[in-house]
Amino acid sequence: AYRTDEGQPWVLPVVKKVEQMIANDNSLNHEYLPILGLPEFRANASRIALGDDSPAIKENRIGSVQCLGGTGALRIGAEFLRRWYNGNNNTATPVYVSAPSWENHNSVFLDAGFKDIRTYHYWDAAKRGLDLKGLLDDMEKAPEFSIFILHACAHNPTGTDPTPDQWKQIAAVMKRRFLFPFFDSAYQGFASGSLDKDAWAVRYFVSEGFELFCAQSFSKNFGLYNERVGNLTVVGKDTDNVQRVLSQMEKIVRTTWSNPPSQGARIVATTLASPQLFAEWKDNVKTMADRVLLMRSELRSRLESLGTPGTWNHITDQIGMFSFTGLNPKQVEYMIKEKHIYLMASGRINMCGLTTKNLDYVAKSIHEAVTK
């Protein structure tokens, strides 16, 4: 979760404003939302991912399902794919998850009924960057129709994203081998500070004619973690196909949670539908993204000034909330035990935990861990 420079959670000013509007609006009640969710939320959320000028939206071949956070969107998508993709109830379709990935990806697809979850090469520990060759190789070798979970931006946990050119290569292989793209977009806007930039990969795939799913989370970019605001965007060949897909997703939703929670969706819908509030939101998002970017550049420059052995450009090359520092387990243990700096055994740090007050301490500690 995001933290301010004081190390505190941050409720976005635009969210506070909209919550107050909702609280003051006596015409609102707590009635059930439709099974697929609040219509204004669904349409606006998908528009954010695909872009105002999306050909798929113009051609009316997109669908949206309001879900409980990004996790809920992934799960509904996974449940649908297990029932209807690559045959009926084909639990043997391979599902590829990046190595490494968010650890819950595996469980989501396993619990949805898939039996064959595999990894695809992603992180190159030696060069501390993307193992594009390994990735493309895995895609060439994957059985046709395999499902690939792609991180739309700000890869969790490595912070390492393909460049546009690399995405083009990935898309080309996936198209040729009939692989299904399931995007996980949990950080749109939060990664670079620009909604459009962070959605580039998803939009590129759409422009290349793919049918795809995109699980969106508004937990981070709206700071609405505990209201569970998510959206599953479906892009299909035409209206008719998308309608049938949504009708089946409705059945899945009905036995999982019946209909989604209204509070968070209202906040997001109200914000996205108002030009003024939308501008304020983009500004709030940029505030968060900029702080993280600043912490990255400050940490890197400190390590370089200290002469800490190794190269540290990966800290600013990487993007989003997390950074794979490259620290090994022993070094991580040192950080935790001796310096009381908590990070994952993988060497992953949450950049949001850095503040102007602790930068020096963290940099020095990394230096010690590496030089000891």
Partner 1 sequence: SSWWSHVEMGPPDPILGVTEAFKRDTNSKKMNLGVGAYRDDNGKPYVLNCVRKAEATIASKKMDKEYLPIGGLADFTRASAELALGENSEAFKSGRYVTVQGISGTGSLRIGANFLQRFFKASRDVYLPKPTWGNHTPIFRDAGLQLQAYRYYDPKTCSLDFSGAMDDISKIPEKSIILLHACAHNPTGVDPRQEQWKELAAVVKKRNLLVYFDMAYQGFASGDINRDAWAVRHFIEQGINIVLAQSYAKNMGLYGERAGAFTVICSDAEEAKRVESQLKILIRPMYSNPPLNGARIASIILNTPDLRKEWLVEVKGMADRIISMRTQLVSNLKKEGSSHNWQHITDQIGMFCFTGLKPEQVERLIKEFSIYMTKDGRISVAGVTSSNVGYLAHAIHQVTK
Nearer to partner 1 (CB atom), residue 104 or residue 297: 104
Nearer to partner 1 (CB atom), residue 163 or residue 247: 247
Alpha-carbon distance 324 to 249, whole Å? 36
Contact pick of 53, 88, 165, 307 for partner 1 (by CB under 8 A): 88
Quick check: 75 binds partner 1 (CB under 8 A)?
yes
| Start-to-end CA span in the chain (Å) | 31
Quick check: 137 binds partner 1 (CB under 8 A)?
no
Please give the residues from 184 up to 213 whose contact with partner 1 meets the rule CB under 8 A: 211
Nearer to partner 1 (CB atom), residue 117 or residue 344: 117
Kind plus residue range of the DSSP H or E element containing 332 = helix 329-337
Please give the residues from 242 up to 281 whose contact with partner 1 meets the rule CB under 8 A: 242-245, 247-248, 250-252, 254-264
Task: State the catalytic residues.
Answer: 102, 184, 220
Min. distance of Cβ 351 from partner 1 in angstroms? 18
Nearer to partner 1 (CB atom), residue 10 or residue 200: 10
Q: Kindly provide the b/e burial profile for residues 338-351, where b requires at least 16 CB atoms within 10 angstroms of the residue's own CB.
A: eeebebbebbbbbb
Min. distance of Cβ 347 from partner 1 in angstroms? 24
Min. distance of Cβ 234 from partner 1 in angstroms? 9
Kind plus residue range of the DSSP H or E element containing 50 = helix 39-50
Min. distance of Cβ 25 from partner 1 in angstroms? 11
Quick check: 23 binds partner 1 (CB under 8 A)?
yes
Beta strands in 61-208, from DSSP E residues, in sequence order:
62-68, 95-99, 117-121, 123-124, 129-130, 147-151, 180-185
Contact pick of 77, 159, 236, 347 for partner 1 (by CB under 8 A): 236
Per the CB < 8 A criterion, the answer to whether 42 and 204 are in contact is: no
Per the CB < 8 A criterion, the answer to whether 336 and 342 are in contact is: yes
Nearer to partner 1 (CB atom), residue 49 or residue 212: 212
Please give the residues from 300 up to 339 whose contact with partner 1 meets the rule CB under 8 A: none
Instruction: Give me the helix-helix angle, 69-84 and 239-256, nearest 10°.
Output: 110
CA-wise closest residue to 2 among 184, 191, 269, 151? 191
Alpha-carbon distance 104 to 219, whole Å? 16
3-state helix, strand, coil in the chain (%, to 5): 50, 15, 40
Min. distance of Cβ 90 from partner 1 in angstroms? 12
Alpha-carbon distance 277 to 190, whole Å? 17
Could you list the residues that contact partner 1 (CB under 8 A)?
1, 9, 11, 15-16, 19-20, 23, 29-35, 67-69, 71-72, 75, 84-86, 88, 104, 107-108, 110-111, 180, 211, 219, 223-228, 236-238, 241-245, 247-248, 250-252, 254-264
